[in-house]
Amino acid sequence: MSDRHSEPKPTATYDEVMSANSDYATSFGDKGDLALPPARGFAILTCMDARLDPAKYAGLAEGDAHVIRNAGGRASDDAIRSLVISHKLLGTKEWFVIHHTDCGMLLFDGNTMAGLLEKSRATATFDGTKWANQKEEGGSPEGHHMAWLTFTDLAQSVRDDVERIRNHPLAPKDVPVWGFIYDCGTGKLLPVE
């Protein structure tokens, strides 16, 4: 296992990230003076999907709002931990839950994922209908013990998460929780009632 714990060598991706960061720091301006609490007093919970840039799609500058992201933008226990810290300690007063079209969480279910992982940790492929492992190595049954939080109905997943947050015993009653679908085809936020 020693190879697994040694420091990895920088890769092309690592160098690209460091180079982009150097450019960002060079033009950082007075952003070092921003305060810790979000200036505009709200939080967004959305998906980790690479196509989503919440700062761009919701018009956020650095310092404006908390952004919480996970696979699906789900109201997991950890997302609720983050939202409660956001309000209780850092004063946010409105929360946006934003899932999106063409989400990967619509393409599998927990049993499928656990079954794939049981055989292999390597990346699987999807043929448009089903997932298949390409090589079987290093599998683990641990996937059967994880809640993968997939869904089959996009709008309902938003409603479910808004309701879970509203009903959570640690969530304040007076914080509006807005539900949206982000349309990956148009960039538009579509309210979910």
In the complex, minimum distance from the CB of residue 99 to a copy of itself, in angstroms, rounded to a whole number: 14
Work out whether 36 is an interface residue with a copy of itself (CB under 8 A): yes
Figure out which of the listed residues 15, 109, 119, 124 binds a copy of itself, where binding follows CB under 8 A: 124
Q: Pick from 4, 129, 132, 152 the residue near a copy of itself by CB under 8 A.
A: 4
CB of 11 to a copy of itself, least distance (A): 6
Q: How far is CA 179 from CA 18, 31, 171, in A?
A: 35, 30, 16
Closest CB 159 distance from a copy of itself, rounded Å:
11
Nearer to a copy of itself, 77 or 153 (CB): 77
Q: Does 84 bind a copy of itself (CB under 8 A)?
A: yes
**Is residue 165 involved in binding a copy of itself (CB under 8 A)?**
no
Pairing mode, strands 124-126 and 65-70? unpaired
Contacts to a copy of itself from residues 172-191, by CB under 8 A? 172-173, 176-178, 184-189
Least distance CB 25 / a copy of itself (angstroms): 4
- Token digits of residue 4: 């697994």
The residue with tokens 């492992």 is 133
From residue 37, how far is each of 14, 79, 89, 100 by CA, in Å?
Answer: 30, 18, 9, 27
Please, are residues 184 and 102 in contact by the beta-carbon 8 Å criterion?
Answer: yes
Q: Is 144 marked as binding a ligand?
A: no
DSSP H or E stretch at residue 13: helix 12-26
Q: Is 49 annotated as a binding residue?
A: yes
Rg over alpha carbons for the chain, rounded to the nearest Å, is 19
47 is in an annotated binding site: yes
> Residue 104: how many CB atoms within 10 A of its CB?
14
**Min. distance of Cβ 181 from a copy of itself in angstroms?**
12
Residues 125-154 that bind a copy of itself (CB under 8 A): 126, 131, 138, 140, 142-143, 146-149
Helix axes 154-167, 77-88, angle to 10 degrees: 50
Question: Is 161 marked within a binding site?
Answer: no
Number of residues lying near a copy of itself (CB under 8 A) = 111
